[in-house]
Structure 1
Amino acid sequence: MIVTSPELKDALKEIINIGVGKAAGMLNDLLNNHITLEVPHVDVISFSDIDNSLGVMRTTPVSAVRLSFRGPINGVSSLVFPPDSASKLVDVLIGEESFSDDLDALKIGTLSEVGNIILNAVMAAFGNLLETRLTYSIPAYVEGSIASVLHLEMERSAPVLSATTRFTVESYRVEGEIILLFEIGSFDYLKHAVDAALSA
């Protein structure tokens, strides 16, 4: 179990909200579609507990965009959707209905771009807190079980920051999950930076 204070969770939620707010502006400009992004819930858990925290996504295939980040903090960030949510979001954005459970190349490209914008904006918000620029890998689109999507060489006690992300597009509401997996030591570094900012 990862011990965190309510103040730390509130601060992490605010940082993520700053990132998704910027991402929403970029997506609105890029897709010419009014998108509202909210982060109603943030939790910090250990990697070994992640299955129990993701509800229905534990037992259904998911769609995800994933990129690793390096710098003072290291790990992997993912934007994860149940398949029906992924299809619904992409259908609304590109104005087509999906008649197949498989996302075609256009839809994979759209979801990858959405994930890339959101994850980069969120990690940039953390970079601003740390007063440094994080480096990122090229985003990768993956599908499968949550275990396979998040299968990484992580310690079972490694911290995971999970943030529910709510998309509202043209009155349609879709929820996904921003999941940040931290290498051992990286979350402690982030926590110290947040504590320092709170006490400044």
Structure 2
Amino acid sequence: MTLTPDEHDVIVELMNIGVGRAANALSQLVQDEVLLSVPQLRFMYPAEARATFSESMPGLLAGVMQGFRGFMSGRAALLFPEERSLELVRAMLGVDMSADEISELEQETLAELGNILLNNCLATLANILNQQIQTDLPEAFNVDTPHLLNRLSLSGDGDEGAMIMLVQIDFSLRENALQGYLAFLIDLHSADTFLAALRRYLTELE
């Protein structure tokens, strides 16, 4: 997907609005300040995404996956290095717990986090672009990096014809700072629909 600088900047702005709303919701949930930002956004095909994940987050990943459909369809995922996910869960829960207790709550807590983050980002995109979108229930999972795209696949073959919107997020909570990714796997038809809606929005702003 070839974007103009203005189109790229608008998507980053919309993502920042979405994660900002998610940060407010999380701050109320954990009764502490949560800071989220989007320093980088890229569109890429699966082969490039595999290389990016192998370089930036090798090893085991903890994630939350959620299907979506409407003006665009696909799967969205929140991804963190697996070894940092327990730190994140501990920070979110805000209580002293054993590693075993934290581990038992990891999937549930990450699913709640992913639900808040992914829903806010998808809803923000749809609302500001005057479109409709529906989301499925979130599903927490663990996977090693080489098998990530197969895990997120829409068709079971790694979706070589799909487009991936990869959003880097910086996450800060209770003096814990970590970096994760939001990955939106969308088919090429949905990517065209998304771009058309974005261009209509930009035209209306002029």
TM-score by length of 2: 0.88
Distance apart, 1:87 and its partner CA: 1.7
Shift of 1:60: 0.5
The equivalent residue for 1:191 is: 195
Partner secondary structure for residue 30 of structure 1: helix
| Deviation at residue 164 of structure 1 after TM alignment | 0.6
Query: In the TM superposition, what whole-angstrom CA distance separates every residue of 1:12-59 from its partner, at most 9, and x where no partner exists?
Result: 1111111111111111111112101111111111122111122232x3
Match of 1:60 in 2: 59
DSSP-derived class of the 1:10 partner = helix
Find the counterpart in structure 2 of residue 179 from structure 1. Answer: 183
For structure 2, the residue ranges without an aligned partner over 5 or more in a row are none
CA distance in 2, matches of 1:60, 1:96: 27
CA distance in 2, matches of 1:148, 1:194: 31
What is residue 162 of structure 1 aligned with on the other side?
166
User: Given that residues 46 and 149 in structure 2 are in contact (C-alpha distance below 8 angstroms), is that contact kept between their aligned partners in structure 1?
Assistant: no
Aligned pairs for 1:1-200 (under 5 A) are 2-54=1-53, 55-57=55-57, 59-94=58-93, 95-96=95-96, 99=99, 104-151=103-150, 152=153, 153=155, 155-200=159-204
5+ residue gaps in structure 1? none
In structure 1, C-alpha distance between the alignment counterparts of 2:197 and 2:64, rounded to whole Å: 27
**How much does 1:8 deviate?**
1.9
**How many residues in Structure 1 have an aligned counterpart in Structure 2?**
197
Q: Deviations over 1:132-168 (max 9, x none)?
A: 3311111001101134333112531311100111111
- The structural deviation recorded for 1:193 is 1.2
CA distance in 1: counterparts of 2:132 and 2:199, whole angstroms? 20
Specify the SS of the correspondent of 1:150: helix
AA matched with 1:80:
L
Counting aligned pairs with the same residue, the percent is 25
* Aligned counterparts of 2:98 and 2:160: Cα–Cα separation in 1: 38
SS at match of 1:185: helix
CA distance in 1, matches of 2:2, 2:98: 43
Relative to structure 1, the CA distance from residue 98 to residue 63 in structure 2 (aligned partners, 3 Å threshold; closer, same or farther) is farther
Aligned Cα RMSD in Å? 1.8
Kindly indicate whether the alpha-carbon contact (under 8 Å) linking 2:71 and 2:132 is maintained by their aligned counterparts in 1.
no
TM-score between the two structures when normalised by the length of structure 1? 0.91
